[in-house]
Amino acid sequence: MQQNEFEIPGIDEGLREGIQHKLDNKAKPVGSLGRLESLAMQVALIQNTLTPELRKPVMLTVASDHLICAEGVSPCPVEITWQQVLNFLQGGGGIGLLSRVYGMDLHVVDAGVNFDFAPHPKLIDAKVRKGTRNFLYEPAMTMDECMQAFNNGRRIVAKFNDEGTNIIGFGEMGIGNTTPASALMSIICKLPVKDCVGPGAGLDKDGVSHKGRVIEQAIAKHGVSENVLENLACFGGLEIATIAGGMFEAAARRMVILVDGFITTAGMLVASELNRKVLDYAVFAHVSDEQGHHKMLEYMKADPVLAFGLRLGEGTGAALAFPMMQGAVAVLSEMTSFEEAQVVNTSHIRFEEEAEK
- Where in the sequence of the chain do the CATH 3.40.50.10210 domains occur? 58-324
CATH 3.40.50.620 matches 58-324 = no
- Name the phi and psi angles at 63, rounded to 5: -120, 145
* CB-count exposure of residue 353 (10 Å: 0-12, 13-18, 19+): exposed
In this structure, are residues 89 and 108 in contact, taking their beta carbons and an 8 Å threshold?
yes
The three-point CA angle 317-190-267 to 5° equals 35
Q: What DSSP assignment string belongs to 214-237?
A: HHHHHHHHH---SSHHHHHHHH--
Q: pLDDT confidence of 337, banded at 50, 70, 90?
A: confident
Task: Count the neighbouring beta carbons within 10 Å of the beta carbon of residue 194.
Answer: 16
Query: In angstroms, how far is the first alpha carbon of the chain from the final one?
Result: 56
DSSP classification of residue 68: G
Distance (Å, rounded) from C-alpha 352 to C-alpha 314?
A: 48
Task: Count the neighbouring beta carbons within 10 Å of the beta carbon of residue 90.
Answer: 10
pLDDT digits (tens, 9 = 90+) for 229-281: 999 999 999 999 999 999 999 999 999 999 999 999 999 999 999 999 999 99
Residue 1 has pLDDT above 50, yes or no: no
> Across residues 61-78, what is the average pLDDT?
97
CA dihedral 235, 238, 240, 244 (to 10 degrees): 110
Residue 14 has a pLDDT of 94
Residue 344 has a pLDDT of 63
Residue 343 has a pLDDT of 65
Residue at 235: amino acid letter = F
Task: Count the neighbouring beta carbons within 10 Å of the beta carbon of residue 324.
Answer: 17
Overall pTM surpassing 0.85 (yes/no): yes
In this structure, are residues 183 and 135 in contact, taking their beta carbons and an 8 Å threshold?
yes
- The CATH code of the domain at 12-53+331-356 is 1.10.1610.10
Select from 253, 109, 266, 152 the least CA-distant residue to 200.
266
In this structure, are residues 49 and 354 in contact, taking their beta carbons and an 8 Å threshold?
no
Residue 138 has pLDDT above 80, yes or no: yes
**Residue 259: strand, helix, or coil:** strand
Residue 17 neighbours by CB under 8 Å, 6+ apart: none
**Active-site residue, 354 included:** no
The sign one gets for the Cα dihedral 108, 65, 235, 127 is negative
pLDDT digits (tens, 9 = 90+) for 55-66: 999 999 999 999
pLDDT digits (tens, 9 = 90+) for 24-37: 999 999 999 999 99
Q: What DSSP assignment string belongs to 271-312?
A: HHHH-GGGGGGEEE-B--SSHHHHHHHHHTT---SB------
Residue 338 has a pLDDT of 73
Q: Which range (5-19, 218-232, 254-268) has the least confidence?
A: 5-19
Select which of 314, 339, 352, 356 is catalytic. Answer: 314
